[in-house]
A and B are shown apart, each in its own frame.
Chain A
C-alpha cells in the first residue's frame, strides 16, 4: 500500500476538517478572551471566566446531576448492549434483521417524539412528577442503539472458534463468557461505556422535557445562553466539556478500533 496522495481530494479533506473544527475551536479561543463580547478584535488573555465558572453553585449542582445520570445510564445501556450484541452475533436468531431494526429505531425517529411520549405517560397519564428516573429512561433509549452497534462490530471482529474451543476444553458457558468472551470484548465494552456516557452527558432534549427539580448540565447551559453577560462563563464551561469529551471519545474510538481489522469494522 502506498502513501496518501496529495491531490485535490486531499485538499478537500483538509478543508472539510477545518469546516468541522472551526466552530469548536472558536469557543475555546473566546473563553480565554477577557472581553465581555464574543467579537473580534480579541482583548487580552484571561482566565477570569474559568474562575467565575468554578465558583458557580448552580453549575456544580447540574454537573453532579449529569455525572450521576451519565454513570447509571452508561452501565445499564452497556449491559443491555452486550446481551443484545452477543445474541445477534453468536446465535442462530430467526428474525435477526427485524430485531436489530427495532432496537436501532431511536436512531431514526426524532428524539422529540420519544421525549414528549415519555412525558405524556409520566405526567399526563400516570400523574407522576418528571424526575431523574424519567431522564434516565429517555437516555437509555438513546444509548442502547449506540452500545449495540459498537459491540456488534467488536464481537464480529474476533473468532467464534475461540469460544467453541473453550467449551470443547470443558469450561461451561459462564466460565467461557468470563474467561474468553469478556476479555476479548473488553475494548468494545469500554468504548460503549464511554460513548454512552458522553451521549447522556450531552443530551439536551430528553432532559429538557423530562427533568423535574434537578436539571442536567446541558439544560443549565441552555438556560444560560439567553443572558449575554453569562456568555463568556458558558464558553469557559463549554471549553472544559469539549476538552474532556474530546479526550474520552478519542480514547473510546481508539479502544473500539484497536485490534480489529479496519476493513471489518464497519459499524458507525
Chain B
C-alpha cells in the first residue's frame, strides 16, 4: 500500500485527490476489483455485522416487562448454564444438535449413491437429471414440510391408506409429532444441499486416476475405497456443513411436525422473542447456539484434517 501513496503523490500536487485516485485505479488492478466489489461487500457486511452486534449487545441486557434495561449483566448466560434449576436451554440445544447430526448423517449417506450415479453412470441427459433434482428444492419449503405433516398425520396419507387397504384397523399414532418425523422431514428438505457438492467433487475426479488404479490391479471395490472415496471427501465435508449448520436453528419443521418432544432450539428462541417476551434471553440463547455450532464445526474440521494428514 506504500507504493500506492508514493506513486499517487505526483498527481496530487498537480490535480488533486480525484486524479490521484484515478491514477491509482489505472495502475492497480486489485484496487479496481475492490472498487467493483465494495457495494456488495458493504451491503452484506452491514446486514450481517449490525444484526450480530445487536444480538451481542441485547444478550447482556435485561427485560423489564415491556422495557429493556441496558445495564450490562451476564445473568442471561448464567441462567442458560444453570443446569440445576432450569436445564431446558441446554437440553434443547443438545437435542437440536443431535437431531441435526442424525439428519446430516442420513442426508449424506443417501445422497452419496445418487451423486455417484450422476457423476459416473449418467452420460446423456445429465442436465435433465440435475434439473429434476434441483428444482423441488427451490419450490416452497413450507409446503414440502407441510406435505410430510399430511403424509404422517393421524388421519394422514399413510394411516388412511393403510386403513382403506385393510392392513391396519386403527391409525398409527407414532408417525407424527416426534423427533423421528422431524428427522425424516429435514432429510427430505435438505437432500439437494448434499447431492450437489458431492456430485461436484466426484465429477472433478480425473478419470485417468481410476484407469490407473484398475491397470495396477485394483478391483472395483478397492478402487472405490482407495481412489474415488478419498477424492470425494471435500464434497462430503461441504455437504455435512451445508446441512448441519442451518438445520440446528430450524424452526419451521419442528413447529409443524415435531410436537412437544420434537421442538428444537429455534422454537425456544422464537418463543422467547414472542410469547415469553424475553428478547435478551433469546439473544443470549442464540449466541450460545452459534458458539456451540462453531465449536462442533471446528472439532469436525480438525478431526477430518488430522485424518487426511495421517493418510498422506
Q: Are B139 and A144 in contact (CB under 8 A)?
A: no
Q: Is the CB of B51 within 8 A of A114?
A: yes
Q: Which of the residues A24, A120, A141 comes within 8 Å of B283, measured between beta carbons?
A: A120
Contact A113 B249 (CB under 8 A): yes
The CA of A121 and the CA of B58, in the complex, are separated in Å by 9
Contacts of A198 in B (CB 8 A): 138-139
Q: Which residues of A contact B157 (CB under 8 A)?
A: 26, 38-40
B300 CB, nearest partner CB in chain A, Å = 13
The A-contacting residues of B in range 116-168, CB under 8 angstroms, are 116-118, 121-127, 129-136, 138-144, 146-151, 153, 155-157, 159-161, 163-164
Q: A12-B117, A87-B34 in contact; A242/B29 too (CB < 8 A)?
A: no
Q: Do B245 and A109 have beta carbons less than 8 Å apart?
A: yes
Q: Assess whether B141 is in contact with A202, with CB atoms less than 8 Å apart.
A: yes
Please give, as numbers and ranges, the residues of chain A lying within 8 Å of B30 by CB-CB distance: 91-94
Q: Which 5 A-B pairs have the closest CB atoms?
A: A117-B51, A110-B249, A91-B33, A23-B147, A39-B160
Residues of chain A contacted by B248 (CB below 8 angstroms): 110
B117 engages A20 (CB within 8 Å): no
B273 proximity list for chain A (CB < 8 A) = 116, 119, 209
Asked if B125 contacts A117 (CB within 8 A), the reply is no
Assess the A27–B147 pair: CB atoms within 8 A. Answer: yes
Instruction: Please give me the residue from chain A that is nearest to B154 by CB atom.
Output: A39
CB contacts (< 8 Å) of A109 on chain B: these are: 245-246, 290
Docked pose: A107 CA to B150 CA in angstroms: 29
Q: In the complex, what's the smallest C-beta–C-beta distance from A222 to chain B, in angstroms?
A: 6
Question: Does B110 have its Cβ within 8 Å of any Cβ on chain A?
Answer: yes
A-contacting 9-mer, from B40-48, B173-181, B210-218, B301-309 = B40-48
Given contacts A110-B246, A268-B197, 8 further A-B contacts (CB under 8 A): A10-B117, A13-B114, A27-B146, A83-B37, A92-B33, A102-B48, A113-B290, A204-B142
**How far is A241 from B139 in the complex, measured between Cα atoms in Å?**
8
Q: Which residue from chain A places its CB closest to the CB of B46 in the assembled complex? A: A137
Are the CB atoms of B68 and A124 closer together than 8 Å? yes
Q: Does A257 contact B (CB under 8 A)?
A: yes
21 A-B pairs within 8 Å (CB atoms) are namely A4-B122, A16-B191, A22-B151, A23-B144, A24-B147, A26-B147, A38-B155, A40-B160, A87-B34, A92-B33, A103-B41, A108-B242, A109-B290, A110-B266, A112-B249, A112-B251, A119-B273, A140-B43, A202-B142, A252-B138, A262-B127
Q: In A28-73, which residues have CB < 8 Å from any B CB?
A: 30, 37-41
**Set of chain B residues within 8 Å of A21, measured between Cβ atoms:** 136
Q: Flag if A195 contacts B138 (CB, 8 Å).
A: yes
- In the complex, are the beta carbons of B51 and A121 less than 8 A apart? yes
Q: Would you give the shortest CB distance from A59 to chain B, in whole angstroms?
A: 14
Q: Chain A: interface residue count, which band?
A: 35 or more
CB distance from A30 to the nearest CB of B (A): 7
> Which residues from A are CB-within-8-Å of B33?
87-88, 90-93
CA distance A150 to B220 in the complex (A): 35
Q: Contact check, A99 vs B41: say whether CB atoms are below 8 A apart.
A: yes
- Tell yes or no: B4 within 8 A of A by CB: no
A145 to B143 alpha-carbon distance, docked (Å): 23
For B196, the chain A residues whose CB sits under 8 A away are: 268
In the complex, are the beta carbons of B148 and A202 less than 8 A apart?
no
User: Does B54 lie at the interface of the complex (its beta carbon under 8 Å from any beta carbon of A)?
Assistant: yes
Q: Are A4 and B124 in contact (CB under 8 A)?
A: yes
- A145, closest chain B residue (CB): B44
A5 CB contacts on chain B under 8 angstroms? 121
A241 to B153, CA, bound (A): 23
CA distance A218 to B256 in the complex (A): 14
A9 within 8 Å of B by Cβ?
A: yes
| B270 neighbours in A (Cβ, 8 Å) | 112
B47 and A242: CB pair below 8 A? no
Q: Is the CB of B127 within 8 A of A148?
A: no
A133, CB-defined interface residue at 8 Å? no
The answer, among B117, B136, B143, for a CB contact under 8 Å with A221, is B143
Q: Name A80's closest neighbour in chain B (CB-CB).
A: B40
Whether the pair A250, B249 counts as a contact (CB closer than 8 A) is no
Could you say which of B116, B143, B266, B293 contacts A242, with CB atoms under 8 Å apart? B143
Cα distance A116–B285 when bound, in Å? 11
> How close is A87's CB to chain B, nearest CB, in angstroms?
4
Nearest neighbor of A19 in chain B, beta-carbon distance: B188
Q: Are B133 and A111 in contact (CB under 8 A)?
A: no
A185 within 8 A of B: no
CA A12 – CA B245 in complex, angstroms?
Answer: 27
Q: Does the CB pair B155–A39 fall under 8 Å?
A: yes
* Distance of A140 Cα from B46 Cα, bound (Å): 11
Does A7 have its Cβ within 8 Å of any Cβ on chain B? yes
CB closest chain-A residue, reference B123: A1
Q: A4-B122, A238-B143, A262-B127 are in contact. Are A20 and B113 (CB under 8 A)?
A: no
B108 lies within 8 A of chain A by Cβ? no
Is A218 in contact with B45, judged by CB distance below 8 angstroms? no
